[in-house]
Every structure is written in structure tokens, then in C-alpha cells.
Amino acid sequence: MQMAQIVGGYSLGGADLLRRAMGKKVPAEMAKHREIFREGAAKGAVSAAKADEIFDLMEKFAGYGFNKSHAAAYSLVAYQTAWLKKHYPAEFMAATLSSDMDKTDKVVGFLEEARGLGLTVLPPDVNASGYMFEATASHTLRYGLGAVKGVGQGVCEAIMTARADSGAFTDLLDFCKRVSAGGMNKRTLEALIHAGALDALAVNRASLMLQLPEVLKATDQMSKNRDAGIFDMFGGGGGSADIRIELPITDDWPLAQTLAGERDTLGHYLSGHPMDPYREDVQRLIGHDLSALAKLCERGRHHTRPQEGRSWRPMVQTVLAGQVVDFRKRGESQAFVVLEDGRGRIECGFFGDQWQAYAPLLTRDRILVIEGGLREDEFNGGYALRANRCWDFAHLCAQQAQRISIQIDLRVPGALQGLEQALQTHIGSTPVLLEATTAIGRGRLLINGGRGLQLDSELPVRLRRLPGISAVNVQLGKPWTVSD
């Protein structure tokens, strides 16, 4: 604005109008002001060329410029926060997470940053958590109950008050009896269960969900009894209106269901990753996970000769695998998927013919194996993959199975029966190597021909859960080693 006044002859109000036009970057307005600036500069014996040069500098600065006090204040805040992050990482990340805990995307990003700093993130727990994230030790964070979707501040404060008054909660009935808040309802309790915040109150989340209807019915009846002045004179509750019920127990949910509940209530997976059951088979198939991207690129640099005359980053041909957690389409000829495996993530681009050929596979939650060119992403500082070919991991297991090896201890009760039941529904042609331990020794049996197994991605997962099974190894063919 001072340059506009001194060089261009603007009034103070006119200079402010120029500032506003530059901020909005309207071409027609800018052209008009350039002429005004030239005319004013000419009155001060400044040539049109020099006036245009000065105007261009002003316009460039207006793209992203601060006055001195603004820049100094930002610098000071940047220094202070960097110092806190370095010397008090747990406290700093707890405050950062709490400041945006109602924005799931930001919470997920901040948690990745916290883990990158080597911090341990403890799950939400009604017997330990507060409303916000808290630093419980120099390198440990406790998840805030307020970051669970569907759980409001009033409910969190009621939980904290009940815990402070009478100590830790012992079971779901005790929790529901003691926590009274206007926002506490069935949906809120389900959210707390799925998020893992009530894990300390039962053997597993499936049991908590099974107990919930009867507990709600019992607490509702207790409330009605108290309102009516009805008391149990012979119970152990000191004349209270309490009702005692049996809390049933059941087997836990499959991992996929548990993790889906966490994603719905927390926005991400906390106790594991959907890739975990398949990690061993994927690792054996491609030899690495998504934490190895830097090593793969570094290895590629040593085997690639740089081109002269330009800055050039080599593209390393490799194969990656992970679960699709995000998908976006750009126009009719390109799409991008984000793969994640719990140890890393990467964006994979499909262009032209590749997009047309593999579009049906690019769906959320599917586990994909992608062959393509890996490179450093100059835009975001990470890595990106340009896809050449793509396979559904479940289809690979069914179509490329070459052999499955099973190690079993037949001395374990129920081991043989469990194995027989699991294999009866998967009769096929894939050879099976059975390594068995009995009371008198160990032996190996190779079954092939038409008496083998029909493999799918779930069979190794189910076998590993059976009693007596110590190892299940799947040998899969690698279709990317064969030219199309």
C-alpha cells in the first residue's frame, strides 16, 4: 500500500482498493489498476517499464505475503510449538489431538504423527480416559472419550464423575447403574462398546453387546422402582431398588467385525488391521510390506543409471499389496486408490488402459496386489505407484495356489477332528503337505492329484485358529513374472 501511494500516486483509500484487488486476483481489476499505477508513476518521472516491474513485484508478493509483525508472530509460534513437540511430545500431541478431536480425518493424521514420534497410544477406557486426550507418561497417550463418535461431553463428564465418586466400574450393569446423563442411551453405549472403551467390563465386545438389552431393561426397572419408592428389603443393597441379573458370555466377534466397529466409531483401526489375518501369506507372496517403500526406492537407484541434463528420479518396478482405504476418480481416464496394510500406505494411480482394465477391482476394503512403477512423490514428499497390472488377492489365492503346508500336533485334543471338518468343504486339486506330530513321532504326508484342497483366502486363516495347528504356509504363483 505504501508503494502504491509513493510510486503510483494512490490515496490511502485507493491503495487499500489495490490491495483488495490483488488479494482476489481478478484479471480485469488488476489490468485497470496497472494502468492507474503507470499513470501515477509517470507523474513522478518513473518510466512505464519500471512501473510495470514494480507492479509485478507487488502482485507476486500479494500471492502470499505478510506484514512484518504477522511474519514475526508466526515465527515465534512455530519456534515455541517445535520446542514443545521436541521436549514434551506426549503432552504436545495430546493437546493437538484434543484441539481437533471432533474432526476424524485430523485425528487419524495426528495419531500417525504420534506413532512416528515413538509414542504409545492407549485405547479409550471408561475406567481411565477423560474427555480429552491425555499424556499419561513421557511417551504415552490415553485416548479421549470425546473422540468417540456419538459420545458427547455431557456423557464423558458423567462417566468421570461416577468414577471419581465410587471408583472403577466392574461390569456393564454397574456402569449403567452409576452413570446417569441425558445423552446416555443405547446408541451411545453401542458406540462405547465398538470403540473398545468398555473392554474392561467383560471378556469381549460380543459379550457386552449380548448383555446390553438385559442391562438396559434392568436399569430402566431400577429407575422406575426408585421413582415409585419401591425398595428391596432383603437384598444386599442396603434397601436399594437394585435388580440383579446374569450377564451372559459368548465367543468374540471375528476380527473384521471388531475392526469395522472401531472404524465406525473412531474413524480408524486401533486394535489391529484387516490385513493381519492375511499378512503372513501376502508377505510370502511379495516379500515385503508397505513399510519398505524407502528401501525399495533406494535399491532401485543403485540399479538405475540417471539421465544427464535434468533432475531425474528413477521409477522402480515392484509389486505392492494392501487394503483399499480410499478411492477417487479423476475424469474418464484416471483413478487413484490408497492402499494401506497397517504398516504403511501409498497412493496408486491407474491411467488410460490400466484404468479401463482394472476399474471393477478398485473398490473400498478389497485387498489388492498391484505391479507397477514406484517413485518418490515430489508433491507430498512420500511415494506413489503408477499401476501396470492388478489382482484381487482373494482371486490369486483361488487361481494361483500351488501347494499348502500344514503342521499339526495330533496329541492336542480335538486337533484331528477340527482339521477334518475344515477340509471337508474344500476338496480340490491343490497339493497338501501335512506334517503331523503324534505320541510316537513325526511324519509327513503329501496329498496331490484330485484329493487335494480348493484354496481360498479364508482357508489358511481358519486353519491357523484350529487347536493343534502350529503353522500353515501357502505357496502361490506370481502372475507378474509371466508376460501378458
233 pLDDT more than 70 = no
127 pLDDT more than 70 = yes
Amino acid at 129: S
- Quote the CA–CA distance of 202 and 208 in Å, as a whole number: 6
Residue with cell 500336533: 409
- Quote the CA–CA distance of 380 and 463 in Å, as a whole number: 41
pLDDT at residue 231 in the model? 62
Mean pLDDT value across residues 244-256: 91
153 pLDDT more than 60 = yes
pLDDT at residue 390 in the model? 96
pLDDT at residue 469 in the model? 96
pLDDT at residue 236 in the model? 46
- Quote the CA–CA distance of 367 and 282 in Å, as a whole number: 10
Amino acid at 150: G
Q: What is the pLDDT of residues 332-377, one digit of tens each?
A: 889 999 999 988 899 999 999 999 999 999 999 999 999 999 998 7
C-alpha cell at 34: 496497472
- Quote the CA–CA distance of 255 and 272 in Å, as a whole number: 8
SS3 207: helix
Contact 245, 218 (CB under 8 A): yes
Mean pLDDT of the chain: 89
pLDDT at residue 62 in the model? 74
Q: What is the pLDDT of residues 23-44, one digit of tens each?
A: 787 778 888 999 999 999 999 9
pLDDT class of 242 with cuts at 50, 70, 90: low
DSSP 315: P
Q: What is the pLDDT of residues 294-316, one digit of tens each?
A: 899 887 666 655 544 444 567 89
Helices (H), 203-278: 205-228, 255-266
Q: How many Cα atoms are found within 13 Å in the side-chain-facing hemisphere of 448?
A: 7
pLDDT at residue 223 in the model? 80
- Quote the CA–CA distance of 131 and 125 in Å, as a whole number: 11
Give the count of beta carbons closer than 10 Å to the beta carbon of residue 462. 15
